[in-house]
A and B are shown apart, each in its own frame.
Chain A
Amino acid sequence: MRPALLASFLLAPGLVFGAARRVAAHDAPYEEIAELTEELAQRPHDVALLLERAEIWLQERNPERAADDLSLARTLDPDADIERSSLLWADMWMQRGRPAEAEAELDRAVDRGSLAALARRAEVRETMERWTAALADYDAVLARRVTVEMALGRGRVLERLGRADEAAAGYARDAARLGGAVPVRLARVATLRGLGRFDDALQEVQRVMDRSPVKTRWLLLRGDLLEAAGRADLARAARELALGDAERMLRRRRSLAARLHYARALLANGRRTEARDQLVRVQSASPALASQAAALLGVLGGDQ
């Protein structure tokens, strides 16, 4: 960082009117902040610029700086861009761990018909564990627009309310409306599994598997569901298919993930020694997969 600008950042907790055009490395997105700061030096009452800079501060997890800009913007024009302003205020309060203030901010924009504020308020209310209020918001958003995040949020809240059957039904409805969104389908599989509705879960897995050229992961999941449903023969068949698929994929793309899936398939088929060898290779080669490999090695326990 250039010394002059560093000093200005340190000395001025609020607006920075430094003359330098660019802050060097090891600071926030220095060019954008510096450019906005420079523009604000020319137009200190430009609310749009203040909101823009507040947004960047929030992206950088700096709610205090954002609060300065937001406060000044509201002082200059309390009614400017209420939807965006409310969303930024809410994010600022959430980053400061004050969801009640965030909710109150969002109320302003929701009252003016903002769908974005309603969606955000649903998430804030979920964070506050105000399940019923959150559900009402999720339902209100989904009535107007179906999105992955809202579908997942509604399902989570329903499960917290002990209404898992409704959650599963909602997932099914929303996944279909979202073109088969995989995150929603996976959430439904987990819910159905928890409910012991294995046949429904298997159908959901099948829907994803039908669209997957590589099926290892889904076949293993299918095996687990069949096992849980007490259909061991079918589970064994699914796991054998998974192993064949994993071997094929490992030949085609020798990635560590392919090797991990192969190890899982070996383990599922009782080939523990081979699984151990593969897991050790994954663990040593991939910090990213090491914890998963270690967990599976833990399942293997003290086997030789």
Chain B
Amino acid sequence: MSRFAFVLAALLGFVATASAQRAPYLQRLTQTEVTVVWRDDLPSGFVCWGTERDALTERVAATRTGSQHEALLTGLEPVTQYYYAATDGSCPAEAEPNDRFTTSPETGTREPFRVWVVGDSGTGGTRQAEVRDAMLAYVGASRPDIFVHVGDMAYSDGTTREFTDNFFGMYANVLRNTNTWPAIGNHEGHSADSGLETGPYYEAYVLPGDGRAGGLPSGTEAYYSFDHANVHFIVLDSYDSPRTPDGAMLTWMEADLAATDQEWLVAYWHHPAYTKGSHDSDTETQLVQMRENALPILESYGVDLVIAGHSHIYERSYQVRGAYDTPTTSAGYIVDSGDGWLRGDGPYDALRGTVYVTAGHGGAGISGPGEHPLMAVTEWENGSVILDVNGPSLTLRNIRRDGVVSDEMTLLRGQEDTLVLVSPLGGESVSAGGSLPIRWVAPDDTTGILVELSVDGGVNWLTVAEEAVNDGVYEFLTPLVRTDEARVRLTDVNQPERFAESGDFSLVGARDVEVIPYGAQWEYWDDPAAPPSEWQTQTGGWDTGAAELGYGDGDEATEIRDEDPNVPTNYFRRSITVGGAVTRAELEVIFDDGVAVFVNGVEVLHENVENGRGHDDFASGSSGDDALVTTLIDGALFEEGENIVAVLVKQANATSSDLSFDLRLQLSVERDLPYYDGGTVELSDAGEIFRDASARPPVTINPDSGHCGCGVISSRGAVGALPTLLALGFLFRRRRR
């Protein structure tokens, strides 16, 4: 098949259904090599490549086994983008735009990079496609640098046909430019033999058992390691290789760990050490053995993050150390019980323990009780995980299949002698004149921090605090001026060589206003009969009361009518007045059992209402008491002036004992502020910058002050952070601990 025909076939979807065909995919990417693999019916194949899309100046012949071609490209330069074309003969004039790869950064460097993590996806179904598309929508142009799959990529038995359809076809446009690093799952294991490295899994992948991608040689493709920038990844076979402490796999792993000096350690395999999803880590042999045998070794070497799948659920632990017992308890093993969110309890200190993730939600049906005692977040929805590694920070985000970012955890690796800026990193939008908390981690011997602000990209600096206390956070009010080139800089007052500087972030005209706080007054309808049809767009005439509204829990501020049998649906509404254009709206709802929220008649959030929104429809699921959902909603739905927020809350069934509702709504409302246009700005022009303005002398942004040559966290961090913060809409069910 010619290259053109192959592309045409891919466009027409033939690749996904013809078992003998696989579009090109990347394997064993290193700083200087990559293997391009594809399948077709032709007897020979070549790969042409070059750094320019229309100048594929290099060419190498592929080896062929069965219908599979494998071409090893060597002599590449690190962190360099190449274009390539898989062909059966001469090189084409130019490569397809998506047929490209970027070689790995040099080992140990702090080059920012992004990882896509998927588990238990291989159904070939709609959910799998939605998970994929949600990731692509989230990342936009900042595509993942590597693709990690934690197993079960080809249901039900990992056959060649299932691999082609459910993995290589499903992800073809990702795989052709993103190297895949797989771990074998039990479903691939049905048709594979790890001891002999036979079967469709081992035929499909070309993995560095010889240690050529970093780490020590394992001698097998069943388990291996690789380096990417400042991260050492360890990939284990939890299904079909011996899991005993003195077995070959864990012997190799211990030696490999002892040999690496990488800044971050990430391990992954299929069977999770901790889960209460569709599998139970307290009772199942493979899971218990991985916990009892692998974790003590990994944790003793300070592994930072462990990812698995198998259990069809999303679970993310607190920071943990030493929980090897069976059954698992939380007593004494949670070393940081915060949520790990930058905008919540703050990041985890990577030196303290390990975070465990079950990412078995890549496409298969979700299930399980989800009550593992070590989990900070549990979610019963399909999705995938994005890891952003940026020097001393590693941020994990769960991207649900509906596009919502429902978890965001950051690990921060402080060093004994460095000062690390946690936020802002760059890319954020901050309300001009609003509060900006600056977070950092500094050594204990840092007694004071000089905090500075620039509004012109670091050309001039304004002292915000001459000696802030080293308690990890300093909050101040930003100037009343718009700019896209704001930065902050921190310096240890006694050791100026310790400093950190953010990337550019924006000061915007919008101001955050909490238009509906928790406990607000609401109109409510608790009549057995349905309300008038226009109930979502009008107010007046209903009873009123303060939230929390409901019955049956004893914590209600306003108790509404509790009928027997239950009325399926109760209604709540109120009006709000908005003073300008809304640029951002963040909604939180506490509910039990189903909920739908409307703004001016448009539904903006729903949970457990798949049975319908009708008055007589019960909720489609049970939420647990006071479940919390959060989401960002489209600011354009709000009008300047009066707006109606209306909510329906559904009972699970006719006999459920309780119903709950409360809601918080925060809007960013645009104001008319000037852009900073250079020159000297006096404090009186900038506005009240400091919380305690009276204690400060007049301050001038001095054009003559020196420009800091210190390292901005990274440009990629700035790019990555913006969509994160904009997309940080949380719509998920999680236990509030």
Q: Please give the residue numbers on chain A whose beta carbons come within 8 Å of chain B beta carbons, in ascending order.
A: 22, 24-31, 52, 59-61, 115-116, 119, 145, 147-152, 175, 178-184, 186, 208, 211-217, 248-249, 251-258, 260-261, 286-289
Contacts and interface: CB of A to CB of B under 8 A. Distances in A.
Contact of B283 (A27, A179, A216, A287): A27
Given A148-B218, A287-B322, A29 B302 contact: no
A183 B302 contact: no
A289 B278 CA distance: 32
Given A253-B302, A288-B299, A22 B367 contact: yes
A58 B220 CA distance: 25
B557 interface: no
A207 B190 CA distance: 36
Nearest to B286: A59
A85 B82 CA distance: 48
Contact of B300 (A30, A208, A252, A255): A255
A180 B322 CA distance: 33
Interface residues of B, number: 48
B220 A147 contact: yes
Which of B216, B219, B251, B296 has the most chain A CB atoms closer than 10 A to its own CB? Answer: B219
5 contacts: A119-B195, A119-B196, A182-B255, A183-B255, A289-B300
Main secondary structure of the interface of B (DSSP, over half): loop
B260 A213 contact: yes
A182 B299 contact: no
B217 interface: yes
B304 to A, nearest CB: 10
B469 interface: no
B197 interface: yes
B213 to A, nearest CB: 12
Contacts of B300: 255-257, 260, 286, 288-289
Nearest to B281: A25
Main secondary structure of the interface of A (DSSP, over half): helix
A148 B278 contact: no
A180 B210 contact: yes
B216 A148 contact: no
Contacts of A29: 279-280, 283-284
Given A182-B255, A217-B258, A255-B300, A175 B219 contact: yes
Given A59-B286, A145-B196, A213-B260, A26 B255 contact: no
Given A148-B220, A217-B255, A217-B258, 14 more contacts: A25-B276, A25-B280, A25-B283, A115-B196, A116-B198, A145-B198, A212-B216, A213-B261, A214-B260, A214-B261, A251-B416, A253-B261, A257-B258, A257-B300
Contact of A214 (B197, B258, B284): B258
Contacts of B280: 25-27, 29-30
A178 B210 CA distance: 7
A286 B333 CA distance: 12
B351 A147 contact: no
A149 B195 contact: yes
B219 A181 contact: yes
Given A257-B300, A257-B302, A288-B297, A184 B219 contact: yes
Nearest to B208: A179
Contacts of B251: 182-183, 186
B261 A249 contact: yes
A179 B219 contact: yes
B339 to A, nearest CB: 25
A181 B220 contact: yes
Contacts of B302: 253-258
B219 A182 contact: yes
A290 B141 CA distance: 48
A261 B284 CA distance: 34
A214 B220 contact: no
A256 B299 CA distance: 8
Given A116-B195, A183-B248, A254-B302, A288 B261 contact: no
Interface in B288-312: 296-297, 299-302
A42 to B, nearest CB: 16
B259 interface: yes
B259 A181 contact: no
Interface string B247-262: 0100110011111110
B313 to A, nearest CB: 11
A25 B302 CA distance: 30
Given A25-B280, A25-B283, A28-B284, A178 B220 contact: yes
Nearest to B299: A288
Contacts of A183: 218-219, 248, 251-252, 255
Interface in B120-141: none
Contacts of B248: 148-149, 152, 183
Contacts of B284: 28-29, 59-60
B260 to A, nearest CB: 6
Contacts of B252: 181-183
Which of A148, A251, A256 has the most chain B CB atoms closer than 10 A to its own CB? Answer: A148
Contact of A147 (B197, B282, B299, B369): B197
Contacts of B211: 179-180, 211
Nearest to B295: A288
Given A25-B276, A214-B260, A179 B216 contact: no
A5 B11 CA distance: 48
A100 to B, nearest CB: 22
B216 A25 contact: no
A208 B276 contact: no
B87 to A, nearest CB: 30
Nearest to A22: B367
Given A116-B193, A288-B324, A212 B283 contact: no
A44 to B, nearest CB: 19
Interface in B398-416: 416
A143 to B, nearest CB: 13
B209 interface: yes
Given A31-B367, A257-B302, A286-B300, A26 B322 contact: no
Contacts of B209: 178-179, 181
Nearest to A151: B219
Which of B279, B282, B300, B322 has the most chain A CB atoms closer than 10 A to its own CB? Answer: B300
Given A180-B217, A183-B219, A288-B297, A60 B285 contact: yes
Nearest to A177: B219
Given A147-B197, A149-B195, A289-B300, A182 B218 contact: yes
Contacts of A61: 285
Contact of A186 (B255, B299, B324): B255
A261 B286 CA distance: 30
A186 B242 CA distance: 17
B217 A178 contact: yes
Contacts of A249: 261
